[in-house]
Amino acid sequence: MRFVVIAILAVWALALGQFAVADQAAELIYRNGVILTMNDDQPSAEAVAVRDGRIVAVGAEADVLASAGEQTHIVDLAGRTMLPGFVDSHGHAYLIGLQASTANLLPPPDGEGRDIASLQALLSDWAADHQEAVSEIGWIVGFGYDDSQLAEQRHPTRDDLDKVSTDIPVIIIHQSGHLGVANSRALQLAGVSAATPDPEGGTFRRRGGSREPNGVLEEYAFFHVLSQLMANFDASDNDALVVEGTRLLASYGYTTAQEGRAMGESLAAMQRVADSGRLAVDLVAYPDILEVDAIQPSRRYSNRFRVGGAKLTIDGSPQGKTAWLREPYFVPPDGQGQDYRGYPAIDEKTTFDAVDKAYANGWQILAHANGDAAIDRFIEAVRLARARHPGVDNRPVLIHGQVLRKDQVGQLKELGIFPSLFPMHTFYWGDWHRQSVLGPERAENISPTGWVLQQQMMFGTHHDAPVALPDSMRVLSATVTRKSRSGRVLGPEHRVPVATALKAMTIWPAWQHFEEDNKGSIEVGKLADFVILSDNPLSVPPDELADITVLETIKEGITIYKRPGPPGPG
């Protein structure tokens, strides 16, 4: 009898609780549009209600409108499409701010960096228009040049940049973020000369027949010279990069941003910006496990910021030909033999120790591994760490996996490694991979989403900005069509349906970040994080996906970005 009474009281209390919630009016109701929820149990809805930054009702318009009160604001979507806000599977919010604040050297369609002469003009024009910035930091900086897209089909050199200035240090950053070029003054300030040895995990490219650096810098050689620039940034400069980077991400529909390799200064800047209440989006950072001593991950945001785990970089860039491959590059870079396979950024012991450290502490570990040799090493490191630390649930992540082999995909599934892939490469560098990096056969399988789906695995897709602009619709288009700049379909068996590609930008990366209970789909109880698009991705022709426009980005019911101009298709 006592059990029956307790059960009745429990049901009664639950009913009262439901009535109390239902009795509170919604603050916002979105209606009259296409609402794609990313929830398999309720894929679409006619309306969504929001209160206190969370979703309180989803479903038929009449049912949702029942939660309205006198003060409820009804938002007319006017036929536009609403989805959950995009979750950044991998990017660099801090460095996106650097991209947004320097000379844009990207090739078309994102910039005008077509040849070396245009790079020189863009740098000179930027310096003329930003004299205060040049005076403050003492450098001329450009971001995003791509040798594969330049008419000369080569990297610029120190001599090319000396034509911009011989008095002011000049540095330009390759679109991959793993290489760069410095002029003679920048090399001098960094103490780089013919007598300077190559650092471990990096290369100073040399002038033919001599040891004199030609200005092209790979990996840790590049980071060494870049550090000379970054040393000139004060706290306000670093804070501004965080603000500008997260603002640009919001303009492409991202409500959760990632800084996928935080260092000391950038980590401090993110914390300061958060503490001052200037983060419009959630920002999760992964400090470099080899560079940052005190890593304190948390699953909870404080002022929209948290540290999610740690980052490890095992190799470099395939388009820059510094990724570590098992088989040689199709066309080796200048100065390398036909057996050149790239190289690891760190040695085996460093890799194994870092992954073991993450498991020992229960930290999530993100590993940058582009080449299949680097992926082999990461897989082995995880295998060893799991054996030493059984029961650790840290959802390790493979970042990029460009040259992921089919036999490796099954190992990822076995070890619980989440693949955050980079199919946007098919557009930007697909032709380059076929012609120069991997050759026609291997290039077909870059970012092999088809093999991942065959294993019934979740995956994330990312932009890796500032490697490219954080263009969410370009990510979607490339994942669905796999069309290169020339229009060639690269690996048609790896094309995925639009609905699947959208999950790889919403609910699956939310799971990657341990946030699937709060984000990634439009469901009752989750955060009211939305993006409003000009068109429905499920109904436009696949070749038009990249033309869809982000019209509005909403974080917890508050608009944080609205595209200027009248609403409607872009």
In a domain, 100, yes or no: no
Among 181, 211, 230, give the residue marking a domain's end: 230
Query: For residues 127 and 134, is the Cβ–Cβ distance under 8 A?
Result: yes
Instruction: Give the Å distances, CA to CA, from 298 to 214, 286, 301, 364, 382.
Output: 44, 11, 7, 10, 21
Residue 314 in this model has a pLDDT that exceeds 70: yes
Q: Which residues contact residue 557 at a Cβ distance below 8 angstroms, ignoring those fewer than 6 apart?
A: 27, 28, 50, 52, 53, 54, 528
Q: 61 with 194, same domain?
A: no
**CA 159 – CA 178 distance, rounded (Å):** 21
Q: 355 with 286, same domain?
A: yes
Highest mean predicted confidence (pLDDT) among 135-149, 225-239, 363-377, 458-472: 363-377
Looking up residue 67, the CATH number of its domain turns out to be: 2.30.40.10
Rounded average pLDDT over 53-67: 97
Report the 10 Å Cβ neighbour count for 167. 7
Q: 377 with 433, same domain?
A: yes
In a domain, 413, yes or no: yes
Residue 11 in this model has a pLDDT that exceeds 80: no
Residue with tokens 């149990």: 41
Among 230, 253, 273, give the residue marking a domain's end: 230
Residue 19 in this model has a pLDDT that exceeds 70: no
Residue 279 in this model has a pLDDT that exceeds 80: yes
Question: What backbone phi and psi angles, to 5 degrees, belong to 285?
Answer: -115, 150
pLDDT for the residue numbered 23: 54
Q: 223 with 255, same domain?
A: no
Q: Report pLDDT digits (tens) over 501-560.
A: 999 999 999 999 999 999 999 999 999 999 999 999 999 999 999 999 999 999 999 999
Range of the domain at 72: 2-79
Q: Report pLDDT digits (tens) over 334-356.
A: 889 999 999 999 999 999 999 99
Residue 12 in this model has a pLDDT that exceeds 80: no
Among 197, 213, 230, give the residue marking a domain's end: 230
Highest mean predicted confidence (pLDDT) among 18-22, 131-135, 270-274, 561-565: 270-274
Q: 140 with 251, same domain?
A: no
Residue with tokens 């040689």: 328
Looking up residue 533, the CATH number of its domain turns out to be: 3.20.20.140
In a domain, 192, yes or no: yes
Q: 515 with 468, same domain?
A: yes
Q: 75 with 148, same domain?
A: no
In a domain, 52, yes or no: yes
Q: 467 with 448, same domain?
A: yes
Q: Report pLDDT digits (tens) over 386-431.
A: 999 999 999 999 999 999 999 999 999 999 999 999 999 999 999 9
Under the banding of pLDDT at 50, 70 and 90, the label for residue 178 is: confident
Q: How many domains does the chain have?
A: 3
107: region left, alpha or beta (phi > 0 left; psi from -120 to 50 alpha):
beta
Residue with tokens 């639950």: 14
pTM score, whole prediction = 0.87
Smallest Cα–Cα separation from 176: which of 320, 342, 364? 320
CA atoms within 13 A on the CB side of 551: 19
In a domain, 107, yes or no: no
Q: 142 with 279, same domain?
A: no
The alpha carbon of residue 78 and the mean position of all alpha carbons in its chain are separated, in whole angstroms, by 31
pLDDT for the residue numbered 2: 40
Residue 567 in this model has a pLDDT that exceeds 70: no
In a domain, 262, yes or no: yes
Under the banding of pLDDT at 50, 70 and 90, the label for residue 233 is: confident
Rounded average pLDDT over 161-177: 92
Q: 72 with 129, same domain?
A: no
Looking up residue 121, the CATH number of its domain turns out to be: 3.10.310.70
Q: 64 with 158, same domain?
A: no
**CA 344 – CA 340 distance, rounded (Å):** 12
Q: 502 with 550, same domain?
A: yes
In a domain, 105, yes or no: no
